[in-house]
Structure formats: C-alpha cells, structure tokens
Structure 1
Amino acid sequence: MNTDTLAYLNQHQLTSVMSLTKWRKLEQALHEEPEFVPHVRYKLLVEDGPNPSFTPVWWHELLEIADSIEWLEIDPFKREKIGRLLPEKTTDFSDYIQTQLHKYAIPFSIETQRFRIWGYLRCDATMPAFCIAAGGETIKEAE
C-alpha cells in the first residue's frame, strides 16, 4: 500500500473490508462461468463519485489499484444486441454471482439490484446490510 493511501485511510478513519487476497478470490469467483463477463463500476477512495458506467473488468488493472477501491459494483445482467429491430437479450446472472460470493466468503451488499463489494467502510456512513449466509441472511448494524 502506498503512503498516500495509508495517510488517507488514517485521516478519514476507514475500516478495511477486503484484502488483496480477497480481491483475487473475487476474480476467481467470477471466472468460473464462461458465459458471464462481469461488467463493473467502482469508486476510488479519493474520488467524489464512481466511474459513470459499467464496463468489462480488466483484472490486472483492477488488482493494481485494489488498495484504493472504496467499493465495486457488479452488474448481474448480460445484455446482448440481437439486431437493430429486435430488443436486446438480457440474461440474469444474479444467482450465479451470489453463489460464487458465498462460496469464496466475499462480503457484499445488494445496492439497487447490483452486488457491491466493499473495500472500505467510512466511520460516518451507514453500515451496509452485508449478505453473509448462503440463505441470503444479512447482518445489519446494531440499532
């Protein structure tokens, strides 16, 4: 981890959720189904907002910046254009993604029908409802 990132984490009192090993497990988890090509967007620690659109993930680039990813969202839908006059074909991979995240013990929350992998949590933000059990049970911050 570079010193600027470490200084930012200490200054803003962020709590780490993912390690580089967990980010690598995420890559492995999402590559077991050849039909699914993950499209992601992420928010870096020092940026005000996430990148605007979902794009195919380049894992070697993502792993290089993993220590500065606040969160990463996975779009569970595969969209295929069939032709100019036909509507696009949409395939939902939500069950596959959820199964894989549980299989590799990767903590996540579901935010607007997308799977969010948290790299860090801010002390001044609302705690996300993490999905941790195969049955879809969640853990929420104690009231």
Structure 2
Amino acid sequence: MEYDKYKIKVQKEVERRGLTSVLNDTRWNRLLQGIYKRLPFAPPFQMKDVLEELPYPEYFEQDVNYNGDWHAAIGDMSDDARFTPLQNPAFAIEWLRIKPRRLEYQGRLVEPLLLDIEQEFVTLLREERIPYVKKGNDYWIYGYATAEQFAEIHMDS
C-alpha cells in the first residue's frame, strides 16, 4: 500500500474510533533520538498499530532478553518518507508498552542479570516532555488515546 493511502486509512480509523492524538512527529523524533543517544540500551517494547487488532509481540508480560528496535517502530518521519514492512510510520502507532529493563544472559548455570534503566528512561521522558502512563513496571506511550486513556496520561510541562 502506498504511504499516502496508508496515512489516510490510519486517519479514518482514528476518527472512526474517536481517538485523540497525543504525540506529534516532533515528539516521536525526540523520543527516538533520546533512546539511542542517552540510554545504555534501547528498551524493549510492545507496539499496537492503529489498524491492527492485536499488539506485537502479542505477549509481553515477562522481562525479555532483547533490545527494542525503535527505528523500525517509529520509522522515518521525513517529508519524503516511505514505509516498508520492516519500518512502521510513527503516525500509525496507537501505543507502545515499554519495559525499561532487560535480562542479560550470564551462562547456563547462572540466573540472568536484570539491567534496569528506569530512572534514565523516566528522566528522558520528562526532559523531552513525552506524555506517559506507568502501569505496574511498564510505561505506556500513546500516539492516540481514548478519552479514558487520555485522562490517565502523565504530562510534564
């Protein structure tokens, strides 16, 4: 599907579901840049696309042993951008569920080490004014939100 047609399809679905836009391209870009420039590793995440019924990965309850591919999730936001199946445009992200930690393999006989960057991650969100919701140990960043979700979002100004 062409980029422009895809964007129109996303916009129609956002309108149909009555979702409110939370992040614009500038904030998505600041988040993307901050993830790679300021954090020791790119935290893993689960992503829900506006046009998809289920998030990816579908199950994301436990800590994981991989980094998140934020370039694939947020994608190229330049004016001449085109998307591929491996790169999602930011305008299609309904939400990201982030675990600001990951497991590091230590060997077969040793429990994995939990690398926790929560403090650095929250500092990044606050300094870049990225609205978020904390649920349990995970952080949710919304591209679009329902009225109920919007009321829960923590917005630093």
- Between the aligned partners of 2:70 and 2:124, the Cα distance in structure 1 is 19
Question: Deviation string for 1:1-54 (max 9, x for gaps)?
Answer: 621111112222211001111111111221234522221111011222211247
Normalised to the residue count of structure 1, the TM-score between the two structures is 0.81
Corresponding residue for 1:130?
Answer: 153
Corresponding residue for 2:69?
Answer: 57
Given that residues 37 and 78 in structure 1 are in contact (C-alpha distance below 8 angstroms), is that contact kept between their aligned partners in structure 2? no
Q: Which stretch of structure 1 is more off in the superposition, 1-10 or 112-121?
A: 1-10
Given that residues 71 and 119 in structure 1 are in contact (C-alpha distance below 8 angstroms), is that contact kept between their aligned partners in structure 2? yes
**% same residue:** 25
1:5 to 10, 19, 35: 10
Distance 1:58-1:130 versus aligned 2 partners, 3 A rule: closer
2:33 to 10, 28, 37: 28
Corresponding residue for 1:117?
Answer: 141
- Between the aligned partners of 2:33 and 2:105, the Cα distance in structure 1 is 27
Question: Deviation string for 1:32-81 (max 9, x for gaps)?
Answer: 34522221111011222211247621415532421111101111112100
Given that residues 23 and 66 in structure 1 are in contact (C-alpha distance below 8 angstroms), is that contact kept between their aligned partners in structure 2? yes
Q: Does residue 105 of structure 1 match 2:129?
A: yes
- Between the aligned partners of 2:101 and 2:73, the Cα distance in structure 1 is 22
Number of aligned residue pairs:
133
Corresponding residue for 1:38?
Answer: 43
Question: Deviation string for 1:73-99 (max 9, x for gaps)?
Answer: 111112100100000000211111000
C-alpha RMSD over aligned residues: 2.2
Segments of 5+ residues of structure 2 without an aligned counterpart are: 76-87
Given that residues 43 and 68 in structure 2 are in contact (C-alpha distance below 8 angstroms), is that contact kept between their aligned partners in structure 1? yes
Segments of 5+ residues of structure 1 without an aligned counterpart are: 135-143
User: Which residue identity is paired with 2:68?
Assistant: P
4+ residue segments displaced more than 6 Å:
none
